[in-house]
A = this chain, B = another copy of it.
């Protein structure tokens, strides 16, 4: 029997607050430090490891976190979720994004169908469509193949799919699976659509419109923008557009699309990369087999997240150490720092995933909570960040926990040897060095050159950024965010905080404003 409890009612949370803190710089020094780093590692799927040697925990803290997990029924709550309970209580919805990549528990029936079958069915429809586009069964009006796919969507219909496309574009090039180039239009700023379109070969571009509700104003506006451009170019939009939406949306049965693929209300936007929202554009870009590899990697990570042993459940471990850093140690932010240029937009995806899920001040019953919830998430790839904001991370007045990601091998394999090492070796040497520099610091009589250390990080290490590795990364963070929501007892699956802005923007457009809102509207010449 599951009980939803605020974190500050847990005995384990009180114990956690009372427990002796770890001196990270001490723990990480010498041969004990070496042993610690060797031991504090957990497989996280697709051949990757989650190493938490440089997080501010020890065996005692870990044992309290295990009690916390037990007392808060963390793994049971995940089981309830994947077995189809209504976990998104605010919107009265099940939460089923895991089902796009596997069946972790019971069959789940909803809307009169088995949901796993439904999701797999849509994947198969998408795969068949993508294959037809690739093999020339679906052509443009001039009988030519499409060479580019352009997704029109915003938020979860943009950030995740875009981050994944960028992550695998070069991998696909060298593995000869780049079937089509992809582009993305998201912002309602008309310069976004106009700028992207100015770089596209319109007659050979297939657009994918993504909106679950079929009513997202930005996306419909950009669809119109694109249709205008197609018509001006003498092309029939209906020959150039597919859509991903829900079966009940106004788009679902429209004749305006080459094909329509369906998702449903049980998959939130920020969790939708493994549904058709990511599946359509990525299957078109890389081929359905590559998209299936992403799902397989995600399924591996999902499976690990069901483990009741904290030390074999990397998502739960990452989540609970994060809660400890946030609520007991008081750190306000988390930085995501992939040492991989291909992951340049992965932090932006995690920023949405995490901040939109857990940036809440009320629990799942709508009662105020008395503790901090979701942190600020930001990040850029290394080594670039080292030449940018790492100064503050090393020597600033706030401590920011860091989430590094690194791969032993590059995706493209091209490299040069300079000063006795390859670029890839330099890249990896830098992330290893940074972890130790942050954790251990360095004393100096000139305090301007002193590094205090004690700045925690973890690193996810993989062989190479492949589709499976990317899938496991994606699922790891989705599950981490879900587990933190369980810890804080918030509903991670709604987003009421986006509503007020929408309401007021409508008023501005209707010229139905007074007071400050009218002055700002005038300032902006609306």
Partner of A221, one of B33, B418, B505: B418
The main secondary structure of chain A at its interface with chain B is helix
Copies of chain A in the complex: 2
User: Smallest CB-CB separation from A39: which chain B residue?
Assistant: B519
A194 at the interface (CB under 8 A from B): yes
User: Smallest CB-CB separation from A216: which chain B residue?
Assistant: B387
A397–B373 CB distance below 8 A = yes
B190–A416 CB distance below 8 A = yes
A234 at the interface (CB under 8 A from B): no
B412–A194 CB distance below 8 A = yes
B389–A356 CB distance below 8 A = yes
User: Smallest CB-CB separation from A359: which chain B residue?
Assistant: B392
A386–B501 CB distance below 8 A = yes
B498–A398 CB distance below 8 A = no
A189–B515 CB distance below 8 A = no
Which residues of B are found within 8 Å of A436, using beta-carbon distances? Answer: 504, 516-517, 520
Q: How far is the CA of A452 from the CA of B374 in the complex (A)?
A: 17
A452 to chain B, nearest CB (A): 7
Given contacts A34-B519, A192-B341, A441-B500, 7 further A-B contacts (CB under 8 A): A37-B523, A356-B392, A374-B397, A394-B501, A425-B526, A428-B521, A428-B525
Partner of A515, one of B33, B194, B451, B506: B33
Interface centre among A33, A186, A504 (most CB of B within 10 A): A504
Known A-B contacts A374-B396, A389-B356, A447-B362; A33 and B516 likewise in contact (beta carbons under 8 Å): yes
Which residues of B are found within 8 Å of A28, using beta-carbon distances? Answer: 515-516
Show 15 residue pairs from A and B whose CB-CB distance is below 8 angstroms, ordered by the A residue. Answer: A38-B519, A155-B384, A170-B191, A170-B194, A170-B195, A188-B427, A352-B387, A361-B395, A374-B397, A376-B392, A421-B509, A429-B521, A432-B523, A436-B520, A449-B499
Known A-B contacts A187-B341, A221-B416; A446 and B366 likewise in contact (beta carbons under 8 Å): yes
A3 at the interface (CB under 8 A from B): no
Residues of A392-420 at the interface with B, using a CB-CB cut-off of 8 Å, are 392-398, 400, 406, 408, 410-412, 414-416, 418-420
A423 at the interface (CB under 8 A from B): yes
Partner of A426, one of B221, B269, B416: B221
Residues of A1-44 at the interface with B, using a CB-CB cut-off of 8 Å, are 28-31, 33-34, 36-38
A102 at the interface (CB under 8 A from B): no
Partner of A524, one of B377, B387, B391, B406: B406
Known A-B contacts A388-B356, A423-B221; A432 and B508 likewise in contact (beta carbons under 8 Å): yes
Which residues of B are found within 8 Å of A342, using beta-carbon distances? Answer: 189, 191, 195
A381 at the interface (CB under 8 A from B): yes
Which residues of B are found within 8 Å of A519, using beta-carbon distances? Answer: 34, 37-38, 53
A396 to chain B, nearest CB (A): 4
Which residues of B are found within 8 Å of A341, using beta-carbon distances? Answer: 187, 189, 191-192, 195
| A133-141, A243-251, A299-307, A332-340: which lies at the interface | A332-340
A202 at the interface (CB under 8 A from B): no
Which residues of B are found within 8 Å of A415, using beta-carbon distances? Answer: 190, 225
A31–B190 CB distance below 8 A = no
A59 at the interface (CB under 8 A from B): no
